[in-house]
Amino acid sequence: MATTAASATDNEQIHFRTCTLCEAMCGVEIKHDGEKVLSIKGDKNDPFSQGYICPKATALQDLYEDPDRLRGPVERTADGWKSISWPEALDKVAAGIQSVQQKYGQNAFGVYLGNPNVHNMGGMLTIKQLLTSLKTRSRFSATSIDQLPHHIVSMHLFGHMLRIPVPDVNRTQYMLIIGGNPLASNGSIMTAPNMRQKLKDIKARNGKVVVIDPRRTETADIASEHHFIRPATDVLLLLAMLNEIYAQGYAKVDSRVAELAPEIDRIESFAEGFTPESVADITGITATEIKRIVKEFCEAESSVCYGRMGISVQEFGLLSQYLSMVINIVTGRLDEVGGLMFPNPAVDVVNSSGPGYLGKRHSRVSNLPDFNGEYPVVAMADEMLVEGEGQLKGFMTVAGNPVLSTPNGEKLNEALSGLEFMVSLDYFVTETSRHANIILPPVSPLERDHYDITFNGFAVHNVAKYSPALFSKTENEKHDWEIYLELADRLDKDAPEAMQKERAATKAFGPKFLLEQGLKYGPYKDVTLDTLIDNPHGIDLGPLHRMLPEAIKHANKQINLNVDFYQADLARVKEMMQQYDDQEILLIGRRHVRSNNSWLHNSYRLVKGKSRCTLMLHPQTAVQHGITDGQDVRVTSRVGSVVIAAEVTDELMPGVVSIPHGFGHGRKGVKQKIAQAHAGVSVNDLTDDTLIDQLSGNAAVNGVPVQLEALGANADDVANAVLENSADSAMA
């Protein structure tokens, strides 16, 4: 029943695989008896993670054993959820989709892809079959509440949306982290297990780690220094840094890179006028500190600027990611050891996928640009609610829970409830899938083969590893790729011959047939599927190395800085500066190493302990609003309000509050007992679907203006808290 890489005793066996619960690609060693997991620990022989795992790895067992996990299709009826057979379920789903499209048009049926899809080899290699068969332009994904700015910048500069360079953390001497918390994320668009040790190693070799964040995060705690910054003002800091690089004469573009970037001379005047002095008051970082950071960054033997979620999911996300990239380029840090470098994966999806595009079409209601055929998620609810030609009447979610993970979740909740037909591909009855007419559940991660199609392309060291399934699925279970192909057969009987042949071959041999083809055409001719099977711990393919100009996918092999496109957004930046209100209370999100969006809250191992769904706020902010630690607070934004317990802490800068992402499991009809027992509130009942990065359409879920109201406060307690904090401030 189980595939093993080694044996321990007659009853106990050992299986090696990659954990698929975040981007880090950690190797795990799973002891089992053929039917039950006995233990999960880090694989010390994995060349990439070298024995490191985070607490999430144990959730692989919890997902497999979870009694709430669906093992077969279910249909929503007046009497509750009813189990149905796979043939009946797939027939009904195909009929429901076709009915909507026949009545209202092909684009009246939409689809949303959640980010678990990219952690799934079979799903990644076959999702195109499903999407093609749906014949709809109404597509959405988690990309536009996350990393969309990274994709657009890389598409513009390097010719492909997935050609994203990553920090060479293993060799850098100075790492500037803006709006990132890799100790909680294990790296993000930077696949890097054991970031705690990697950052410690930088410091141990007399290097420096500097964190810029409105919160003193877990990463900031171990950094060399941390600077608070007002949410969504990162663009001003980056502009001031770029200005200062030229003012101090630190621009030193490698002649090799300069020849590849014909617009490089235009960058000198890009940030003209954005001096450190002009942005200090708004950002909260003094001009002196900005100048010192620039000096140290540029004078370091090697350095890299890494900006992640904090600068992506705000109103200047795309411009901020562009500036981060440009700073690396003009200081000579692109394609250099210890700087920003391109991974060289064994399966290079860049060579087998389209480069991406921006703005070929615009959403019907909000007129937002699509990216690579997907509209921004902030447009999704309106496309369902606003009547007219092209209104969404049917919908499919694939491995996603957008009611909890996209802005104005309550509005989307309402929109989903009014659809004529909905289907969800999901393990559970969640806040989103509870609206579906039919839920089609795939197998759990331990029952499927795995190779990291996506994250090897973001890895800070080149490796390759294939993991066969640990447990075989039962007769009544299906892999996600089997579901995709069976739906495609029903929906698209007249597909081109080449696509039908690929479907047939994949059905016969599984997606590892497609993986084998990817390896065959990859850069390492001696890395084959058989080689990987013979090396269950994985294969070390070496450190990152120079990849220019080969890495560039533009036909002319040049870096297209696209200066006019980005410079046009500076008018919006200047308007923001003129209108900035430093008295607003701004909301940001946060994540925890024991969590991953909304996926893992039904794992009892990961949710135990004190509640993590709290409203973090600074003591000064608490005093100003009469709030004491542990007290219930009503937090209100333009779109909604939640009630949540306060956690008064100096981790946050004054004027900023934080609620973690992914909670809010208290809605009626959810069938995840552990998650409901630790329900918390959804921060996305507060995030605003009208707050966006206008340049990209990406959601701006950081820097949301909110109001605070203390509930049930004891007047004496509040008065005492005010006096104590006033005394503390006076002493300080």
Contact assessment for residue 437 and residue 79, using Cβ atoms and an 8 Å cutoff: no
Contact assessment for residue 696 and residue 150, using Cβ atoms and an 8 Å cutoff: no
Query: Within a domain: residue 723?
Result: yes
Residues 233 and 173 in one domain: yes
Q: Looking at the predicted structure, is the pLDDT value of residue 731 above 50? A: no
Q: How confident is the model at residue 254 (pLDDT cuts 50, 70, 90)?
A: confident
Q: Report pLDDT for 713.
A: 61
Pairing of strands 166-167, 174-178: unpaired
* Structure token pair of residue 307: 């900006």
Q: Looking at the predicted structure, is the pLDDT value of residue 723 above 90? A: no
Instruction: Return the half-sphere exposure (C-beta side, CA atoms, 13 A cut-off) of residue 686.
Output: 33
Q: Looking at the predicted structure, is the pLDDT value of residue 1 above 80? A: no
pTM over 0.85: yes
**Mean predicted confidence (pLDDT) in 530-550:** 97
CATH of the domain at 239: 3.40.228.10
Residues 225 and 180 in one domain: yes
Q: Report pLDDT for 311.
A: 95
Q: How confident is the model at residue 726 (pLDDT cuts 50, 70, 90)?
A: very low
Query: Within a domain: residue 527?
Result: no
Residues 317 and 370 in one domain: no
Q: Report pLDDT for 719.
A: 45
Q: Looking at the predicted structure, is the pLDDT value of residue 728 above 80? A: no
* Structure token pair of residue 674: 């552990």
Residues 599 and 688 in one domain: yes
Residues 374-396 have pLDDT tens digits of 999 999 999 999 999 999 999 99
For the chain, the domain total comes to: 3
For residue 202, the SS3 value is helix
Residues 470-518 have pLDDT tens digits of 999 999 999 999 999 999 999 998 889 988 898 999 999 999 999 999 9
Residues 323 and 226 in one domain: yes
Residue environment code for 272-281, b if the CB has 16+ CB neighbours within 10 A, otherwise e: eebbbeebbe
For residue 645, the SS3 value is strand
**Mean predicted confidence (pLDDT) in 555-584:** 96
Query: Within a domain: residue 296?
Result: yes
Write the CB contacts of 9 (distance below 8 Å, at least 6 apart in sequence): none
**Mean predicted confidence (pLDDT) in 337-366:** 96
Q: Length of the chain in residues, anyone?
A: 732
Q: How far is CA 499 from the centre of its chain?
A: 30
Contact assessment for residue 323 and residue 289, using Cβ atoms and an 8 Å cutoff: no
Q: Report pLDDT for 718.
A: 52
Query: Within a domain: residue 698?
Result: yes
Query: Within a domain: residue 483?
Result: no
Per mean pLDDT, which range of 87-96, 508-517, 595-604 is the poorest?
595-604
Which amino acid makes up residue 684?
N
Residues 190 and 308 in one domain: yes
Could you tell me where the DSSP H helices lie in 467-569? 480-491, 497-509, 512-520, 529-534, 563-567
How many C-beta neighbours within 10 Å does residue 39 have? 13
Q: Report pLDDT for 591.
A: 84
**Mean predicted confidence (pLDDT) in 135-148:** 96
Q: Report pLDDT for 185.
A: 87
User: Got the DSSP string for 238-288?
Assistant: HHHHHHHHHHTT-----HHHHHH-TTGGGGGGTTTT--HHHHHHHHS--HH
CATH of the domain at 616: 2.40.40.20
Q: Report pLDDT for 717.
A: 56
Q: Looking at the predicted structure, is the pLDDT value of residue 715 above 80? A: no
Helices H / strands E in the chain, number of each: 26, 27
Q: Report pLDDT for 609.
A: 84
Residues 725 and 639 in one domain: yes
Q: Looking at the predicted structure, is the pLDDT value of residue 457 above 90? A: yes
Q: How far apart are CA 482 and CA 494, in angstroms?
A: 19
- Give bridge partners of residue 226 from the DSSP assignment: 211
Q: Looking at the predicted structure, is the pLDDT value of residue 135 above 60? A: yes
Q: How far apart, in Å, are the Cα atoms of 720 and each of 499, 627, 628, 655, 714?
A: 71, 11, 10, 21, 10
Phi, psi dihedrals of residue 573, rounded to the nearest 5°: -65, -45
Q: How far apart are CA 123 and CA 715, in angstroms?
A: 56
In degrees, rounded to 5, the angle at the alpha carbon of residue 540 between the alpha carbons of residues 465 and 44 is 75
Q: How far apart, in Å, are the Cα atoms of 255 and each of 330, 334, 339, 713?
A: 11, 12, 16, 64
- 597: nearest Cα among 309, 314, 401: 401
For residue 722, the SS3 value is helix
CATH of the domain at 380: 3.40.50.740
Q: How far apart are CA 162 and CA 206, in angstroms?
A: 33
* Structure token pair of residue 319: 């411009």
The mean predicted confidence, pLDDT, of the chain is 94
Q: How far apart are CA 519 and CA 456, in angstroms?
A: 13
Q: Looking at the predicted structure, is the pLDDT value of residue 578 above 90? A: yes
Percent of the chain with pLDDT over 90: 88
Contact assessment for residue 377 and residue 94, using Cβ atoms and an 8 Å cutoff: no
Q: How confident is the model at residue 2 (pLDDT cuts 50, 70, 90)?
A: very low
Residues 252 and 115 in one domain: no
Task: Please tell me the chain's helix, strand, coil percentages from 3-state DSSP, rounded to the nearest 5.
Answer: 40, 20, 45
Q: Which helix (H) or strand (E) holds 606?
A: helix 604-607
Q: Looking at the predicted structure, is the pLDDT value of residue 357 above 80? A: yes
Query: Within a domain: residue 263?
Result: yes
Phi, psi dihedrals of residue 659, rounded to the nearest 5°: -130, 135
Q: How far apart, in Å, are the Cα atoms of 444 and each of 59, 424, 483, 612?
A: 11, 16, 14, 26
Pick the last residue of a domain from 440, 457, 490. 440
Residues 714 and 582 in one domain: yes
Q: How far is CA 724 from the centre of its chain?
A: 41
Residues 191 and 289 in one domain: yes
Q: Report pLDDT for 592.
A: 82
Phi, psi dihedrals of residue 466, rounded to the nearest 5°: -115, 135
Instruction: Name the one residue in this structure whose structure tokens are 């995060």.
Output: 217
Pick the last residue of a domain from 525, 546, 567. 567
Range of the domain at 312: 166-341+562-567
How many C-beta neighbours within 10 Å does residue 514 have? 22
Query: Within a domain: residue 281?
Result: yes
For residue 703, the SS3 value is coil
Residues 721 and 620 in one domain: yes
Query: Within a domain: residue 645?
Result: yes
Q: How far apart, in Å, are the Cα atoms of 14 and each of 2, 5, 452?
A: 10, 6, 21
Residues 306-327 have pLDDT tens digits of 999 999 999 999 999 999 999 9
What is the distance between the terminal CA atoms of the chain, rounded to a whole angstrom? 65
Residues 727 and 681 in one domain: yes
Q: How far apart are CA 260 and CA 101, in angstroms?
A: 48
User: Got the DSSP string for 158-185?
Assistant: HSSTT---EE-TTT-SEEEEES--HHHH
Q: Report pLDDT for 598.
A: 82
Q: How far apart, in Å, are the Cα atoms of 579 and each of 236, 282, 562, 574?
A: 14, 11, 28, 9
**Mean predicted confidence (pLDDT) in 238-257:** 94
Pseudo-torsion of CA 501, 507, 509, 514, nearest 10°? 60
Q: How far apart are CA 701 and CA 705, in angstroms?
A: 10
Pick the last residue of a domain from 527, 542, 567. 567
Q: Looking at the predicted structure, is the pLDDT value of residue 7 above 80? A: no
